[in-house]
Amino acid sequence: MQNCLKCEKLVFLRTCSKSLRSTASSVRTVRRNRSLDGVNEDFEHCPSTNRKGVVGLVQVLRNSNELSSPTAIGLLCVSIILLCLLTGRASAADYSVTVITGNTELVGNIYHFNTELEYNLSPTAKEALQKGIPLTWIVNIKVEQQADFWNTTLQEKKITYQIHNHALLNQYSVKINNDLPLMFATLTGALNSMSKINAIAMINKQFIHQDRSYQIAVKVTFDREALPIPLRPLSYFDSQWALSSGWTVWPLSK
């Protein structure tokens, strides 16, 4: 696993280096010829999907009347580098959290919510975890009254999960909010403990009217700001740290 990650990082660094050299070459070409001819070829090392974006960008700028300005040239080079590096870095694999199921039930006068999640850790996230870096997710659950233009949030709850590898103990801990951590012998066991949220009390039925529509929404957010400071900037651009989910919505069963 470590060798694979090292190879991946090496390839990424080589791509960075090629893109930087290509940018320098493109600047010289534009300054010399006062045109963008030949710039496309400088970026042939980009993946085909990225190269299409580069070609499209070049075509747009070629038809512009501002090509002679140094600012336009600089913006072109920066845009091409970001397109090659950031898009090229994206992985075909999806490491976002999957919200599998969700349902509500009325217990007494209180609506309770149950949901099942699936955490898909990327190789980079697993490597960080093995090195002792804790990973944190925030599960956001909302009860909303539906409207034509803007839903109204009636109740919102957040649950924080933090998983941590303890190498000396050869165990994983899962901390839920401010409770004492739970210990697990395997990573699978730790993730499974985070995957099911059962009977969380959400809202009293007195706030639910029969003539109106309501929904319950769930979103799981990976907390990048909980990472060590050196990792935070990179985590926003690396798809291996895209460990959140989007909003998943169900109607509230009355």
Tokens of 176: 């839920």
Residue 189, pLDDT score = 97
Residue spans per domain, the chain: 2-89, 98-251
Comparing 144 with 253, which gets the higher pLDDT?
Answer: 144
Question: At 175, is the secondary structure helix, strand, or coil?
Answer: strand
Cα within 13 Å of Cα(47), Cβ side: 14
Does the structure show a pLDDT above 60 at 96? Answer: yes
Residue 133, pLDDT score = 96
Instruction: Give the model confidence (pLDDT) of 176-194 as tens digits.
Output: 999 999 999 999 999 999 9
Neighbours of 197 (CB within 10 A): 19
> In terms of pTM, does the model score above 0.75?
no
Residue that is written with structure tokens 């400071």 in the block? 229
Q: Are 252 and 110 in contact (CB under 8 A)?
A: no
What does the pLDDT average to over 1-15?
A: 45
Instruction: Give the model confidence (pLDDT) of 186-222 as tens digits.
Output: 999 999 999 999 999 999 999 999 899 999 999 999 9
DSSP 68: T
Residues 6+ apart with CB under 8 A from 93: 122
Lowest-confidence segment of 110-119, 131-140, 228-237 by average pLDDT: 228-237
User: pLDDT exceeding 90 applies to what percent of the chain?
Assistant: 59
Instruction: Give the model confidence (pLDDT) of 26-85 as tens digits.
Output: 444 444 444 444 444 444 444 443 444 444 555 545 555 444 555 555 555 555 555 444
Give the end-to-end CA distance of the chain in Å, rounded to a whole number: 49
